[in-house]
Structure 1
Amino acid sequence: MKTLDEIDRKLIALLQDNARLSTVALAKAVALSRSTVQERLQRLEASGTIAQYTVRLGSGGDPLRAWLLLRYAEGFSCDDVVPLLAPLPQVRLAHSVVGDTDLMVLVETRSPGELADLRERVMGLKGVDDVTTVPVLRTVLDRL
């Protein structure tokens, strides 16, 4: 069996993300002709490297919600941090509060991994000193 090269690995990664990608789309992604990609896929299938194409079920559309409880760094305020949060599409709501937490931010993501990535991104924003993540298990009352 031929050793996998970087293009083979990229094709496999693309198919793992979306097994329905067309050969044309795969060819564009790796900058090769459609026929060359098709030959590579046939080789990967024949060698058993690609065993099957499958469907991975999603969460059914229910978002993962969580509260991010932010504390500002010394000398920063709501006016500094909120404009940095506003462009993030996962941010749904923000409340300025008093106490150990300075800002409560409701976020919606598609997965725990996306939530972890978002949390790290928010933690890296200028003016944010600390982030506590509180996942929402279920909403028991919503009058908004």
Structure 2
Amino acid sequence: MAELDRIDKKILDILQRQGRISMTELGEQIGLSTSPCAERVRRMERSGVITGYHAQVDPKSVGKTLLVFVEITLTTKSGDVFDQVRKALLHMPEVMACYLVSGNFDYLVKARLNAMPDYRDLLSSILQKIPVPSQSHSYVVMEEVKDTAIMNITF
């Protein structure tokens, strides 16, 4: 895809906050008529800039009141090991996000759960399914100060 221009970035900024906005209203906010605005959105969807739309669900409303971060350190590191870990963690529905990181540990996992017994089961499952785990450190969130999927887009 060609580089994003100022209008594309404005569109992305608005869509992050209002994913259900009509193309007419979006066009009005950025100063375009509906058709060219919709075409820009379709182009960014086709090219993979816009990867999807979703509803943001309150975790408490579905009983997911426990938020946990787990640091995982591996004893052995290789492309094969990283692929095995990736495959194992991708198939764990409780895992909302997972990052291979640099630093004192290898993976940072974010999980939302119902209660502590679910956390114990998840940790056990992670340590059993991934190859060569060395250690893990967990952090249970006491208060969520800020959690957003909205990126700051400069235009």
TM-score (norm 1): 0.54
Displacement of 1:85 in angstroms is: 1.0
Residue of 97, 112, 133 corresponding to 1:93: 97
Q: Distance in 2 between matches of 1:127 and 1:86?
A: 17
The count of aligned residue pairs is 86
Unaligned runs of 5+ in 1: 1-58
Contact persistence 1:94–1:106 (CA under 8 A): yes
Equivalent pair of 2:64/2:112 in contact (CA under 8 Å): no
**Using the alignment, how far apart are the partners of 2:128 and 2:73 within structure 1?**
12
Match of 2:144 among 135, 139, 142: 139
Aligned-pair CA distance for 1:101:
1.1
Q: Distance in 1 between the 2:77 and 2:71 partners?
A: 18
Alpha-carbon RMSD across the aligned residues, in angstroms, is: 1.8
Per chain length, whose mean CA-contact separation is higher, i.e. which structure has more relative contact order (CA < 8 Å, sep 6+)?
2
State the shift of 1:62 in Å.
4.0
What does residue range 1-144 of structure 1 map to in structure 2 within 5 Å? 61-76=63-78, 77-125=81-129, 126-144=131-149
Taking structure 1 as reference, are residues 62 and 87 closer, same or farther at Cα in structure 2, changes over 3 Å only?
closer
Structure 2: runs of 5 or more not aligned:
1-59, 150-155
- Could you give the per-residue CA deviations for residues 8-63 of structure 1, whole angstroms, max 9, x where no partner exists? xxxxxxxxxxxxxxxxxxxxxxxxxxxxxxxxxxxxxxxxxxxxxxxxxxx76242
Equivalent in the alignment of 2:46: none
TM-score when normalising by structure 2: 0.50
1:65 and 1:72 map into 2 onto residues whose CA distance is 23
Partner of 1:27: none
